């Protein structure tokens, strides 16, 4: 298996607050074992206020361990408060990667 990606899909009118929350979380957790390898926050051009956060982990197991940490649960709760509805999570095994 080549890894694991979690896509968090959400709507918000408070993206600047959400970005600040995410920056703080990453700064405090970036060097912990099992943390995300990388993340990309994207905005949907056709749906203003609609975003996808794409987060890559080394494995599904590391992603689930990360999700179970109290600080991650607290972040997720605070993130949900900034969203206009509940976020949707997509849990994806990486089958193949490529570089163009």
Query: What's this model's pTM, rounded to 2 decimal places?
Result: 0.89
Asked if residue 42 is part of any domain, the answer here is yes
Tell me: the pLDDT tens digits for 10-67?
Answer: 999 999 999 999 999 988 876 777 788 999 999 999 999 999 999 999 999 999 999 9
How high is the pLDDT of residue 30? 64
Asked if residue 100 is part of any domain, the answer here is no
In 3D space, the residue among 36, 41, 33, 35 whose CA is nearest the CA of residue 16 turns out to be 41
Asked if residue 43 is part of any domain, the answer here is yes
**Whole domain around residue 41: which residue ranges?**
4-93
CATH value at residue 62: 3.30.70.100
Asked if residue 98 is part of any domain, the answer here is no
Asked if residue 64 is part of any domain, the answer here is yes
Give the Cα separation of 58 and 66 in Å (integer): 11
Asked if residue 86 is part of any domain, the answer here is yes
Count of domains observed in the chain: 1
How high is the pLDDT of residue 93? 96
Tell me: the pLDDT tens digits for 54-92?
Answer: 999 999 999 999 999 999 999 999 999 999 999 999 999
Q: Which two tokens stand for residue 90?
A: 């997509």
How high is the pLDDT of residue 2? 75
Asked if residue 35 is part of any domain, the answer here is yes
């Amino acid at each position: 298996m080549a890894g694991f990606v979690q896509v968090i899909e959400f709507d918000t009118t408070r993206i600047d607050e959400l970005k600040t929350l995410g920056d703080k979380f990453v700064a405090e957790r970036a060097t912990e074992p099992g943390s995300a390898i990388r993340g990309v926050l994207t905005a949907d051009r056709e749906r203003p206020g609609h975003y996808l956060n794409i987060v890559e982990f080394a494995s599904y197991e590391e992603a689930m361990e990360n999700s179970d940490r109290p600080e991650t649960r607290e972040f997720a709760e605070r993130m949900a408060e900034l969203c206009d509805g509940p976020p949707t999570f997509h849990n994806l095994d990486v089958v193949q990667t490529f570089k163009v």
